[in-house]
Amino acid sequence: MNVGVLVSGQGTNLQALLDAEARGELAPATIAVVISSKPGVPALERATKAGRPAEAIDHKRFGSRELFEARLLEVLAAHQVEAIVLAGFMRLLSPHFVAQFPARIINTHPSLLPAFPGADAAAQAIAHGVKVSGVTIHFVDDSLDNGPIIAQAAVPVLPGDDARALHARIQLEEHRLLPRVVQSLAAGQLSCQGRTVMGGRAE
């Protein structure tokens, strides 16, 4: 399965995928292209260093989300992408875009959804005084951080934690869990709302 990874920033989750692929732990998934919604971000450098095609599609240069997503779809099609991983991608995808990859877009989010969706999840957890946070990997639908959950891992909130310290520990779990989920998706071992995802397509 050819996988496209969409990013917007540092690319630490992308690096976890690249490292897993280098170890032979991502097959039958292959990272076919990395696309950033922002130019000049470290994630693009990570992809290039790993020998993966990398392209910036600056969302600010398009007059609408529809035009931005049309360009995204062009690049994904050019690389024969069958599934998408959102790895720190900071744009909400439209229903039209999501419909092009049914049960084949996954996202990683630094909280135990449905708690603390959206930005700054670790800061939200600290502000609410919870004792446990974590990471959620889920299928993407047309709402914010609300698709069917694939996998979760709990991370304790320790005394004295601030948002940065908590987020760093959550990232360790993200980096462990995300490659496993991508490998399972490519191997047809996941299901979405009762439909098994076989070869990247929901049956």
Q: What are phi and psi of 154, to 5 degrees?
A: -85, 145
For residue 153, how many other CB atoms are within 10 A of its CB?
15
> What is the separation, in whole angstroms, between the first and last Cα of the chain?
16
Q: DSSP characters for 117-162?
A: -SS-HHHHHHHHT-SEEEEEEEE--SSTT-SPEEEEEEEE--TT--
- The answer to whether 167 is a known catalytic residue is no
**What residues contact residue 67 under an 8 Å CB cut-off, 6+ apart?**
none
Reported as type and span, the H/E element at residue 27 is: none
Q: Read off the tokens for 83.
A: 């599934």
Candidates 59, 79, 109, 167; catalytic one: 109
Annotated catalytic sites, by residue?
109
